[in-house]
Amino acid sequence: MKLPAEFLDKMRRLLGDKEYGEFIKSYDIPRYYGLRVNTLKTSVEEFLRISPFELEKIPWVEDGFYYKEGESPGKHPYYHAGLYYIQEPSAMFPAAVLDAKPGEHVLDLCAAPGGKSVQIAASMKGKGILVANDINSDRVKALVKNLELCGARNAIVTNEPPDRLAVNFAGYFDRILVDAPCSGEGMFRKDEDAVRSWQKFKCDTCAAMQREILKSVDRMLRPGGYMVYSTCTFSPEENEQAISDFLAWNNGNYEIMEIPKLNGIEGGKPEWSDGNPELTKTARLWPHKVKGEGHFVALLRKKNGHNCSDNASGSQIKDEEYKKGKKNSGSIADESQRKAFNVFVNENLNLSIDGFFIQKGNNLYCLPEEPPDLNGIKVAKFGWYLGEFARGIFEPSHSLAVSLKKGDIKNTVDFSPESREIIGYLRGETVMVGGKKGLTAVCVNGYTLGWAKQMGNMLKNLYPKGWRRMS
């Protein structure tokens, strides 16, 4: 791999000749591949029992595993069932440090394509509010898809710059993850495009942008709340120096929290910044010291009190309570739509759907509690997308199917991962099989993949066109 001479000179100055030699040798080692088990859909123990891959534990996350180069987990039906998310091993560390809890209000500020958002959602176990934001409207599409695929029910997806979000979310969040846009030096081994991007977006440009982002983050984090700042670069200007500058701006209103160091993870380098010894509490993942790519992670706690935000869930919306939300949660369904939704639930599901209902146009969403004020915010996903009203009936979404367990649905059909029926279904083909007439959930080894409609001896395929396998 040809690395920029300017980058190499800088790393030699930072590391010294001996460690620089070890660092450069890491670029001759093949990259590492990882997946994280999605505990919203299955347990780690159960996935290990059914996994077709040769896996090795990633030491810094409970649900992360290395898989061998040459394997293709993205093509396996289990991927389409949302049982795991494919993610670079070091990239799993920031959300693990954030340690989101059920019932909290959490922001993933620079979230696309969604790997860290999915990880946060699993930690929250469907309770509380997760806001996943990205400024890039094209990347937001992937973010929405990944959250839906993995069955996240408490996620709102927004498409705004941080300073615009701060207008609505002042003091709202218990935890915020800032996986900041950066010069990407830590990804050079993984992605040669990162080398080309580095020529355009060097550390000084990125550092200025990161500092503006952090100013907005402070406005949104409640007193006593936690912020994780992370990058995938080695540059001190974007790492230790960014944290030092942030602490100075806030006049001691933040404290750096210790991140446990294990399995080759090292502390930050105070000597690369202002010499503040507290910077050793931050973490650096080096490609010559861990089985992963380069990352920097800092955990900060906001002072000025220890009050907890009100994490009580919103009232459970039953039929008689089906009403408009107080904070721009959208017009409520009329009586006929309410009845259509109840008919669908009674005919097709073995459970009731409770929560705070939100209607946007003909689309129906649900959240575990009342949503925040979204007035003036560009929203791509208002929560758990249940489906839409059309021609006097309720039509369930694909998101609803993959978020439910097999036992939640009355009419199901189950195939093995290797079956031609599953491969055909994922390609959008009609599946020739008999069964009970009506809406049916297609499952792989007991895990839902999507809807189909049983018609005689065939299943009419309802798998979304944009999700289908091409090979």
Active-site positions read 232
Determine the Cα–Cα distance for residues 398 and 469; give it in Å rounded to an integer: 15
* CB-based contact 22:10 (threshold 8 Å): no
Amino acid at 405: K
